[in-house]
Amino acid sequence: MTEPRELVVISGKGGTGKTSVVAAFAALAGGAVLADCDVDAADLYLVLDPDVGPPHDFSGRQQAIIDPAACTACGRCAEVCRFAAVLGGGADGYTVDPIACEGCGLCLRVCPRDAVGMGPVINGAWMLSETRFGPLVHARLGVAEDNSGKLVTLVRKEARETALRRGLPLVIVDGSPGIGCPVIASLAGADLVLAVTEPTVSGRHDLERVLQVVRQFRLPFAVIVNKADLNAPLAATIAAETTAQGALFVTTIDYDPSVTRAQVEGVDVITYGGRAAAATTEAWEAVREAFGRELVSVPATEERVES
């Protein structure tokens, strides 16, 4: 079995159309494993109507728990905690704020009465579901939870193992907006990073920042400008800048209300049809061709980030 290849779709700015593009690619690929790594706002399942698999608990960290019977309220734990996670004091003793606690365990180590223990926090769940286009690994992060990066890593690993098990050649990852931990966790080891942007001043600015991260990882990347007719001159500028950086400029997709209508109907744009379907099909052909040939690695500007 050959190693499955992995296409990671990101954007920098949110709301540019990543998920709609990924759902369309799923329809066109015919047999890819899908991984929804936007664990804060996992929307891919809404247009793929999956048969949802059983949830598996995800525990990304430990959390301190203070035993009120053993606590003498000496306050040493609160003194050393850098996350302001130890609350209370006085007669009521101390408790741990589960949202603020990062699980470092320093309170446990300094407590003179061994009144602090650590316990795993269940901060999410992941599922392996079946869609009409192939398996979907998706997750939900508990609200107000940390560790989205670890959950992203887990979703990618499960997607890859599913591809190996079923002999499927491709994993398509729907990534998060931004440049922080969930994005970094979705990038390492990707075969191709596809950024979906829009021709707005913020779309361009955010793309530039996220592509710097991609370059630090020395990963090949490609760019789609979605809703291109909102500002055609800026779309052309972004296309030129992409090419100047040695990346693949895939195509532009014009704004098309059928993208939202498809979403309202709970289907992907290919199944729904419309102008965007044709443009997205063209984009998919270009991305598939890029996978087929030897991709030129992008020169890195700085040292690779380990994370």
* Nearest approach, Cβ of residue 29 and other proteins (Å): 21
Q: Under the criterion CB under 8 A, does residue 268 sit at the interface with other proteins?
A: no
Q: Under the criterion CB under 8 A, does residue 36 sit at the interface with other proteins?
A: no
Cβ neighbours of residue 108 under 8 Å, at least 6 residues apart? 64, 116, 117, 118
Give me the 16-35 binding string for other proteins, x by CB under 8 A, dash otherwise. x--x----------------
Q: Under the criterion CB under 8 A, does residue 50 sit at the interface with other proteins?
A: no
Which range binds other proteins by CB under 8 A, 126-134, 142-150, 160-168, 275-283? 142-150
* Nearest approach, Cβ of residue 212 and other proteins (Å): 4
Q: Under the criterion CB under 8 A, does residue 13 sit at the interface with other proteins?
A: yes
Q: Under the criterion CB under 8 A, does residue 231 sit at the interface with other proteins?
A: yes
* Nearest approach, Cβ of residue 46 and other proteins (Å): 5
Q: Under the criterion CB under 8 A, does residue 188 sit at the interface with other proteins?
A: no
Residues 69 to 128: which contact other proteins by CB under 8 A? 80, 82-83, 99, 102-106, 109-110
Using CB under 8 A, list all residues that contact other proteins: 11-16, 19, 40-41, 43, 46-47, 62, 80, 82-83, 99, 102-106, 109-110, 141, 143-146, 148-149, 176-185, 198-203, 205-206, 209-210, 212-213, 216, 227, 230-231, 234, 255, 257, 260, 263-264, 266, 302, 305-307
